Amino acid sequence: MASNAERLATNLNLSKFGQATDLRKRLWFTLGALIIFRMLSFVPLPGVDPVAQALLYQNNAAGGFLDIFNTFSGGSLERMSLIALGVMPYITASIVVQLGSSLSPTLAAIKKEGETGRKKLNQYTRYGTVALTAIQGYFLATGLETLAAANGIQAVVEPGLMFRIVATISLIGGTMFLMWLGEQITSRGIGNGISLIIMSGIIAQIPGLVAGLLDGVRTGSVDGFLVLAFVAMFISIVLLICFVERGQRRVLIQYPKRATQRGMMQADRSHLPLKINTAGVIPPIFASALLLMPVTVTQLVGTNVDTETTSGAILQQVLQYLQHGQPLYLLLYGIGIAFFCFFYTAVVFNPEETAENLKKAGGFIPGIRPGKNTEIYLDYVLTRITVLGAAYIVLVCLLPDYVMGLTGQTQFFVIGGTSLLILVNVTVDTITQIQSHLLAHQYGDLLKKAKLKGSRGR
């Protein structure tokens, strides 16, 4: 049955798009939502001079740590737009709520309430998003004022408390709108809305990167052979991602023998697919959110710190070690990715619940007793493949960054390993959902034809 479905999916062609009305509407809705996101990234905060802000960012943040945050927000931070914080506060709030649901008995009980519990946890996530955006927005406005004053650039037209309040409220509105837009894409469009927003932000930065590299090669400031070496590395990483993301550990599931129509006893078999990378793109996104936000705020606040004092010198030294591509940054980022690989896999796949469902359905793993033994075996297998998955994600995300930091080519950070992983995973997931809609539409046509033939035969 699975092979027939796969064969049918591969035979789908573009002509089916015109017939699948619901899919076409979903695609147009997704495209329209992403266009709105890109338009908002060009709307500056009230009281910010866009020209002076661009100059300020170029002098202080270009090629540094803030470039990563700017990439995930689609260039919004560079222009200090209404959505300068992007969806990172929402992702950070989601991390806190998910960690709380695993550690707090109260939140764990809410999570077990099904759809009602899920809605409550989503509401808590929204409250957390507002609180985090307010804190980060205020620090961002304050940091912009101090950064502008330190460089002698009037990026803020009228600095003061009123600007900070207006900027914070505007940033809260922008982030909450992005959160709502992502939820609408998920429910009414195609793919995961938040992931698509991040992916579109990354894609928007690629043309500028390519143009800058070509201009650098033309002027001789960038080595052409080095660019070709990086392109070859990126292509190899994309091929590796495509290969590993399709990797599965198929656990054999057997069901008791059942009588067929011919009176023969036949045992049913199926497979439980366990992906090598069960967590998908969540670990690098979560790790980036936890690592980017505090360091970004520290960097913005620390721009006006007196480096002659002990505390100021320590702060500047820490910021230097946490620059993109530095060993301390790579270490913390790798630890965060590995942690969230195991954490999110535990959230997505519950061995105890899976073993209980198999037992109720009469299924069992050959050689493993149903119940507790099945749970232990599934947990053992999942832990082993998650180790491989975590090592793969850490390698993909950190190796390009390490090479770029080693060679000093910071302009490539825009399209590093994390960005490639997000681009490939989200693209594959979106294409899979499109194929599922087309497959469902084709099966629906077959059912309609069968009903028509049956009514005519009568």
Distances (CA, A) of 180 to 63, 109, 176, 190, 290: 31, 26, 6, 15, 21
Rounded (10°) angle between helices 21-40 and 417-457: 160
DSSP, residue by residue, 276-310? TTTTTTHHHHHHHHHHHHHHHHHHHHGGGS-TTSH
Contacts of 354 (CB under 8 A, 6+ apart): 272, 375, 378
For position 2, what pLDDT does the model report?
43
Please tell me the class of the 13-213+221-446 domain.
Answer: mainly alpha
Contacts of 340 (CB under 8 A, 6+ apart): 279, 282, 283, 286, 287
* Phi, psi (deg, nearest 5) at residue 192: -80, 120
Map out the domains of the chain as residue ranges: 13-213+221-446
- Assigned token pair, 290: 């936890």
Other CB atoms within a 10 A radius of the CB of residue 241 amount to 21
Q: Quick one: which H or E segment has residue 166?
A: helix 161-188
For position 7, what pLDDT does the model report?
46
The 3-class secondary structure across 39-68, one letter per residue, is HHCCCECCCECHHHHHHHHHHHCCCCCHHH
For position 262, what pLDDT does the model report?
58
For position 168, what pLDDT does the model report?
93
All residue ranges of the chain with pLDDT < 50 are: 1-13
Cβ pair 424, 241 in contact under 8 A? yes
Q: How many residues make up the chain in this entry? A: 458
- Pairing state between β 248-259 and 265-275: antiparallel
Distances (CA, A) of 4 to 12, 16, 431: 13, 18, 19
